[in-house]
């Protein structure tokens, strides 16, 4: 079958790989003019994504992640409150993204082309691109993220929901500090919590994928409850005055937001974490939203990754869920040949929607246990 994929991030690339693997003719259209390099933060590479990378690209965990040794919680003075052994495979969004890009033949993806609409007919689906061009396919896979335009067309009345808290995030080179300054953070997953906010930091690979001491980077995340929606919109306005739906990418915070972040850090964080924030050249901002598409398929359209359902970051499963969606979709489309394509997609969609149920419950529960988010989630 000919399959068009809208969106060339983790979900889009994963599905291009799995569907290509079983012989379908796939093509990805990504609206960004260039590959998305350098834009993401740290990610925990969970079992399913790791298995996916091992099977498709022969990557192994030690090639792409910096494991932690201890999970530590510190107080405002930097003293250790609790400490327990925990081996978490932290990598970076970039490393996972680059691994997936390296596996996909280059002629299978077009950059700078946005999917703007589609029309279904008896024998297939016609997909419209932003420059007036259109392409025919048997299936459209919508991997266009939390603000999915495809989902909006299918379900115009559906809206994702603000979870009541935001995340300030950043990445800073390990080499920006003397070894003594960051000794306590290396090898550890370090957290600081106070009512209404939680800060965490851990090491991830360097931008070139390097795992060597001194060439790695610290990733930090600072979740903060945000009851003031006007303040959130202010932080979602970039350095050019454009308002965004859910996030501001690295390097595009307004000067006012950046100054407010530094001022908040000075007032509320232990000194080591203040240093991480201050040394970060391009912090970024994300509002935490919950999204669950009313259905993961309609006719010949399948929604995957964040377009189908966005889970809370505490479950550390956004990329793994995207890989699971892609594997399950390929499994469905390699069997069930006695069914019509719409039926196959409907069966796949129902089973994936059920499968994510556990994560949808676990995310808000974890957030609540950290004192994050609105209580009605």
Nearer to ligand FAD, 252 or 263 (CB): 252
- Give residue number: closest CB to ligand FAD: 305
Nearer to ligand FAD, 83 or 145 (CB): 145
For residue 315, the minimal CB distance to ligand FAD (Å) is 10
For residue 206, the minimal CB distance to ligand FAD (Å) is 15
SS (H, E, C) the chain: CEEEEECCCHHHHHHHHHHHHCCCEEEEEECCCCCCCCCCCEEECCHHHHHHHHHHHCCCHHHHCEECCEEEEECCCCCEEEEEECCCEEEEHHHHHHHHHHHCCHHHEEECCCEEEEEEECCEEEEEECCCCEEEECEEEECCCCCCHHHHHHCCCCCCEEEEEEEEEEEEEHHHCCHHHHCCCCCEEEEEEECCEEEEEEEECCCCCCCCCCCCEEEEEEEEECCCHHHHHHHCEECCCCECCCEECCCCECHHHHHHHHHHHHHHCCHHHHHHHHHCCCCEEEEEEEEECCCCEECCEEECHHHCEECCHHHCCHHHHHHHHHHHHHHHHHCCCCCCHHHHHHHHHHHHHHHCHHHHHHHHHHHHHCCCCCCCC
For residue 337, the minimal CB distance to ligand FAD (Å) is 28
Choose among 227, 235, 230: nearest CA to 284: 235
Q: How far apart are CA 208 and CA 352, in angstroms?
A: 34
Nearer to ligand FAD, 220 or 228 (CB): 220
Nearer to ligand FAD, 152 or 271 (CB): 152
For residue 266, the minimal CB distance to ligand FAD (Å) is 25
Nearer to ligand FAD, 123 or 131 (CB): 131
Q: What CA dihedral angle connects 89, 94, 95 and 101, to 10 degrees?
A: 140
For residue 43, the minimal CB distance to ligand FAD (Å) is 4
For residue 140, the minimal CB distance to ligand FAD (Å) is 11
Nearer to ligand FAD, 148 or 225 (CB): 148
Nearer to ligand FAD, 228 or 367 (CB): 367
Nearer to ligand FAD, 51 or 336 (CB): 51
CB 40 within 8 A of CB 219: no
Residues that bind ligand FAD (CB under 6 A): 6-12, 29-32, 36, 39-43, 93, 114-115, 143-146, 149, 305-307, 313, 318-319, 322
For residue 52, the minimal CB distance to ligand FAD (Å) is 12
Nearer to ligand FAD, 135 or 143 (CB): 143
For residue 80, the minimal CB distance to ligand FAD (Å) is 27
For residue 90, the minimal CB distance to ligand FAD (Å) is 10
């Amino acid at each position: 079958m000919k399959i068009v994929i809208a969106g060339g991030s983790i979900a889009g690339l994963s599905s291009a790989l799995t569907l290509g693997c079983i012989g379908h003719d796939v093509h990805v259209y990504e609206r960004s003019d260039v590959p998305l390099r350098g834009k993401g933060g740290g990610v925990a590479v969970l079992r399913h994504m790791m298995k996916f990378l091992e099977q498709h690209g022969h990557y192994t965990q030690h090639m792409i992640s910096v494991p932690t040794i201890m999970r530590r919680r510190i107080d405002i003075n930097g003293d250790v409150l609790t400490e327990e052994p925990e081996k978490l495979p932290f990598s970076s969004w970039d490393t996972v993204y680059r691994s997936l890009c390296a596996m996909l033949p280059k002629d299978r993806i077009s950059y700078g082309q946005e999917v703007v609409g589609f029309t279904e007919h008896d024998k297939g689906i016609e997909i419209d691109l932003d420059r007036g061009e259109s392409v025919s396919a048997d299936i459209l896979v919508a991997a266009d993220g939390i603000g999915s335009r495809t989902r909006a067309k299918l379900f115009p009345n559906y809206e994702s929901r603000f979870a009541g808290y935001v995340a300030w995030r950043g990445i800073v080179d390990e080499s920006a500090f003397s070894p003594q300054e960051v000794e306590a953070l290396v090898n550890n997953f370090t957290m600081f919590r106070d009512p209404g906010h939680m800060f965490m930091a851990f090491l991830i690979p360097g931008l070139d994928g390097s795992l060597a001491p001194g060439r790695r980077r610290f990733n930090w995340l600072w979740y903060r409850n945000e009851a003031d929606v006007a303040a959130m919109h202010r932080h979602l306005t970039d350095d050019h005055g454009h308002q965004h739906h859910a996030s501001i990418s690295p390097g595009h915070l307004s000067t006012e937001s950046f100054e407010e972040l530094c001022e908040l850090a000075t007032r509320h964080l232990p000194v080591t974490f203040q240093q991480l924030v201050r040394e970060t050249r391009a912090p970024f901002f994300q509002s935490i939203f919950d999204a669950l598409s009313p259905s993961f398929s309609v006719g010949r359209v399948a929604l995957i990754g964040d377009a189908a359902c966005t889970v809370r970051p505490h479950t550390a499963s956004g990329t793994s869920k995207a890989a699971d969606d892609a594997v399950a979709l390929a499994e469905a489309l390699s069997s069930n040949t006695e069914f019509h394509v719409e039926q196959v997609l409907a069966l796949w969609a129902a089973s994936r929607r059920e499968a994510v149920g556990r994560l949808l419950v676990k995310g808000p529960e974890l957030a609540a246990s950290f004192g994050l988010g609105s209580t009605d989630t």
